[in-house]
Amino acid sequence: MTERAPSPSLRRRARAIDRRLEAFYGPPRIPVPGDPVGVLVRALLSQNTSDRNSDQAFRRLRARFHTWSGVRDAPPHTVETLIRPAGLSAVRARRIQALLRILPVVRGEPSLAFVGDMPVEEAKAWLLGQTGIGPKTAAIVLLFGLGIPAFPVDTHVYRVARRIGLLPAGMSREAAHGWMEALVPPERYAPFHLLLVRHGRELCRARVPRCGGCPVQESCAFFTGQTAGRRL
C-alpha cells in the first residue's frame, strides 16, 4: 500500500536530487508562456511518439498555417497529411480540430485564456474533460502554456523518478502527477521536470542507464541496490 503523501525525508531527498541535477546540467531554460493553444497542439502531437516525429509534424503544420483558426477551418485531410510524421494522423487531426472548434474566439483566434482564469483544480478538470487530453497533456498546457503550477509526468520523468526512488512502488503514471506536485515546491515544477527529462534522455536511459557518470548516484535507489547486489 502506497503512502498517501510524500514524507518530509523524501521531500528533502527530492530537493537534493534537484540541486545536484541543476549543478550538473545547469539551470534549464524555462519557456515563457505565450501560446497556450500551440502548447496544446504540440502536446497532442507528442503523445505516444518520439520528440523528433512530433516536432516535425508541428513544424509542418505551422509552416502551412500561421493561425490556429486556419488549422481549425482547414479540410481534415490537409491537417492529416501535414501531421503524418507523428503517426495516427487521422485520429490526431480529428481531435485537434475538434478542440480548436470548442475554444472561444478572442480577437479572431481560438483561445485558452479562459482556462488560465480558472482556479487550478477547475482548470485541470476542464482540460481532462476534453477528448484526447490526459494528465500529462493537461499539466503541460497548464505549466508551459498558461504558467499555472502543474507537474507533467512524461515517459522520462516517470522512468527516472521510479528508478531513483521518488515514486512509491507500483504507483501509476496518472497518480504520479499529484504525487510529484506534493513532493516538489511549485516554483520548482518546471525546472525539475525539465531536468528529469534531460537526465532521462542523456544518462538515465530506458534500456541501459549510464550510472557511471550519474550526478545523483548516492541518492538513487536503483544504483545503490545494484551496488549492494554486486557486493554479495
Query: In 17-140, which ranges are E strands?
Result: 105-106, 109-110
Q: 181 and 189 in contact (C-beta within 8 Å)?
A: yes
Helix (H) or strand (E) holding 53: helix 51-64
Hey, what's the torsion of the CAs at 30, 32, 34, 36, to 10 degrees?
30
Distance CA 112, CA 133 (A): 14
> Sign of torsion, CA 115 29 132 77?
positive
CB atoms within 10 A of CB 208: 6
List the grid coordinates of 5. 503523501
Q: List, in sequence order, every residue forming a beta bridge with 109; answer none if it has no partner.
A: 106
List the grid coordinates of 115. 482556462
Q: Which residues are catalytic?
A: 136
List the grid coordinates of 231. 557486493
Q: Which amino acid is at 181?
A: E
CB atoms within 10 A of CB 159: 20
